[in-house]
Amino acid sequence: MAEELRILLIDDDEVDRMMVKRALRAAHTQIIIHEAVTGSQGLNEAQTGRYDCVFLDQCLPGDSGLAVLSAIRAAGVKTPVIILTGQGDEQLAVDVMKAGATDYLVKNKLTADSLSQCLRAAIRLGRAEAMIEYLSYYDAATGLPNRLLLIDRLVMALAGIERSGGMLALLFVGVDRFKLVNDTLGHGLGDKLIHLVANRLNACVGKQAVVSRVGGDVFGILLPELADSQVAASIAEDLIEGIRQPVDLNGYVWHTSASIGIAVCPDDGQNVDVLLKNAESSMYRAKEQGGDAYQFYTKSMNERVLERMLLENSLRQAIDNNELVIHYQPLIDGTTGRTVGVEALVRWLHPERGLIQPMEFIPLAEETGLIVPIGEWVLRTACAQNKAWQDTGYPPVVVAVNLSGRQFRQPDFTGRISKVLAATGLAPEYLELEITESIALEDVEYTIAILNELGAMGIGIAIDDFGTGYSSLSYLKRFPITTLKIDRIFVQDAAKSQQDAAIISAIILLAHNLNLKVVAEGVETPEQRLLLRERHCNMMQGFLFSRPLPAEQVASLFDFCW
């Protein structure tokens, strides 16, 4: 069945109108034609937006077709307009196209076939232009206004405040842990979650509010004409509660939450750029506080954001400027007391701030993706250093290197490891790679495949911080790992807490029954060491033996017996 088309025909000549209508009906069976005999009537009808195409006579009494066309476009009407002229004229063609016509036809050359082609081409072009304009201002995934349209509405709202006073608020809403949904459940379910959140945001605010998607998992909400800032806080609480409700992601029950930043005009800024920046920084402040909450903007927050930006820029240059160093912490054999391995721990020797600890820059590196080149540098440097120790004549030891989730999921990850070993000359049995439980369980089948490849190369695999993550015992028999590392939280009170001592005993017994080695982290007292030795813990590391040391200092401990 043919698509029904609605056509507006603007022409003062009745005979010409009859000719055009006859040709249109011959060209398209399902068509509704509305006629206007003057330019003003035609303009009024065109502005209703009810038509798929407008046919406009170039010669009208009082107004030329070009003047009417210009008025139609000035009114914001995007409907395709085809100019009808008495004779072909190249200059006229140029003029009408400049004025915004979609096409033009000569009346005495009209045929059903030429009209049909022109009509269909004009409608296709009009719809394509409408879609382009729509996508310019709206988010395709959610149907919400995008950042550009939010800014447009914010400009209008600020102009209203400037004229008559009052207050408005701009909220930035970030979905907490959204990356985890994408990484574990896939981008399809991530998109579904974004759509569900968009619906909940719309349901929580009034009709005057503008809910937009400004990018990724972040939404912007404009609250115009506020009585006071407490109204914004109340709405933020409603939003948090609405988003907090569990969602069904194809059988997975996901407990989502949101972090909301609030910037109020005029107190927190009186122009678009400042309000956008302050609302966004407030949102990230809410995330830093654990999420599932809202934060108003403060000036001190802006200073922290600037400091973080400067730190990020410095971190990007740290590798090229040779500012990263590795310190090595010995791994001590639980029975003999000799150093049998070292863990490579990256440090940042900043030219102005001095030694920056990992807890300050590793999360930033993870967030920005810089953890990948940093991780590769650590791996290559640690392997080269271990080979250098061996070449110098020191007893061979294993070097343990931590892997980030981003690094572990790089394309051809095992190939990269193989190239590092080949380039440094280190035998695979002297390298151990450490991953956390959470990294291992993000994609179990991928993890198993990669660990099997690494194991086949002869590389050791350790699960770091065991007991603090998912603690799913089922993966211990599925993953080809060689070592479990007991987290320091169980070790620190083991000599005084029967519960912690029992947990350590259970982990060691479980590991040994699975033919796995055990490393206890954070050993700081002789009592802790004695307890671990009595339970046959394979290896220990901690301040009792040594703090992490530069390469030239730690090598002197290789022949030492604790």
Q: What is the DSSP string of 105-150?
A: EEGGG--HHHHHHHHHHHHHHHHHHHHHHHHHHB-TTT--BBHHHH
Residue 273 is assigned to a structural domain of this protein: yes
The mean pLDDT of 237-250, rounded to a whole number, is 89
The mean pLDDT of 156-182, rounded to a whole number, is 89
Kindly state whether residues 40 and 162 are assigned to the same domain: no
**Which 8-state DSSP code applies to residue 561?**
B
The span from the first CA to the last CA of the chain, in angstroms, equals: 89
Per-residue pLDDT, 298: 79
Kindly state whether residues 123 and 158 are assigned to the same domain: no
CATH number at 62 reads 3.40.50.2300
Q: Residue 29: pLDDT band by 50, 70, 90 thresholds? A: confident
Q: Percent of the chain at pLDDT above 90?
A: 42
Residue 347 is assigned to a structural domain of this protein: no
Nearest to 55 by CA among 105, 100, 91, 89: 105
Which among 105, 137, 169 is the end of a domain?
137
Kindly state whether residues 175 and 32 are assigned to the same domain: no
Min mean pLDDT across 175-179, 242-246, 361-365, 441-445 is at: 441-445
Residue with tokens 């007292």: 525
Residue 236 is assigned to a structural domain of this protein: yes
Q: Does residue 61 carry a pLDDT above 80? A: no
Kindly state whether residues 159 and 60 are assigned to the same domain: no
What contacts 24+ positions apart, CB below 8 Å, involve 189-193? 189/249, 189/250, 189/252, 191/141, 192/249, 192/250, 193/247, 193/249, 193/254, 193/256
Nearest to 170 by CA among 275, 270, 260: 275
Residue with tokens 């009346």: 107
Per-residue pLDDT, 114: 77
What contacts 24+ positions apart, CB below 8 Å, involve 242-250? 242/200, 242/201, 242/203, 242/204, 243/173, 243/175, 243/197, 243/200, 243/201, 244/292, 245/200, 247/193, 247/196, 249/181, 249/185, 249/189, 249/192, 249/193, 250/189, 250/192
Q: Which residue has the higher pLDDT, 426 or 504?
A: 426
Kindly state whether residues 101 and 152 are assigned to the same domain: no
- How many residues does the structure list for the chain? 562
Kindly state whether residues 278 and 380 are assigned to the same domain: no
Residues 6+ apart with CB under 8 A from 175: 193, 194, 197, 217, 218, 243, 256, 257, 258
Per-residue pLDDT, 1: 41
Q: Residue 300: pLDDT band by 50, 70, 90 thresholds? A: low
Kindly state whether residues 125 and 225 are assigned to the same domain: no
Q: Are 418 and 378 in contact (CB under 8 A)?
A: no
Q: Percent of the chain at pLDDT above 70?
A: 94
Kindly state whether residues 380 and 519 are assigned to the same domain: yes
Kindly state whether residues 448 and 517 are assigned to the same domain: yes
Q: Does residue 253 carry a pLDDT above 90? A: no
pLDDT tens digits for 69-124? Answer: 888 888 888 888 888 887 666 677 777 777 788 888 888 777 777 777 888 888 77
pLDDT tens digits for 443-496? Answer: 888 889 999 999 999 999 999 877 665 555 667 778 889 999 988 888 888 888
Rounded Cα gap, residues 501 and 217, in angstroms: 43
The mean pLDDT of 157-163, rounded to a whole number, is 87
Min mean pLDDT across 167-171, 234-238, 558-562 is at: 558-562
Which among 297, 322, 355 is the end of a domain?
297
Kindly state whether residues 182 and 273 are assigned to the same domain: yes
Pairing of strands 218-226, 247-249: unpaired
Q: Does residue 162 carry a pLDDT above 70? A: yes
Q: Which residue has the higher pLDDT, 187 or 89?
A: 187
- What's the structural domain count of the chain? 3
Range of the domain at 189: 147-297
The mean pLDDT of 15-21, rounded to a whole number, is 86
Residue 561 is assigned to a structural domain of this protein: no
Q: What is the mean pLDDT of the chain?
A: 87
Residue 361 is assigned to a structural domain of this protein: no
Kindly state whether residues 125 and 216 are assigned to the same domain: no
CATH number at 173 reads 3.30.70.270
- Strands (E) located in 397-502: 398-402, 431-436, 460-466, 483-486
Residue 542 is assigned to a structural domain of this protein: yes
Crossing angle for the helix pair 90-98 and 65-74, to the nearest 10 degrees: 20
Output the CA–CA distances (angstroms, integers) from residue 209 to 225, 334, 466, in the order listed.
10, 65, 48
Q: Residue 139: pLDDT band by 50, 70, 90 thresholds? A: confident
Q: Which residue has the higher pLDDT, 51 or 119?
A: 51
Residue 501 is assigned to a structural domain of this protein: yes
Cα–Cα–Cα angle for 477, 479, 484, nearest 5°? Answer: 85
Per-residue pLDDT, 474: 67
Kindly state whether residues 400 and 522 are assigned to the same domain: yes
The mean pLDDT of 126-136, rounded to a whole number, is 67
Residue 94 is assigned to a structural domain of this protein: yes
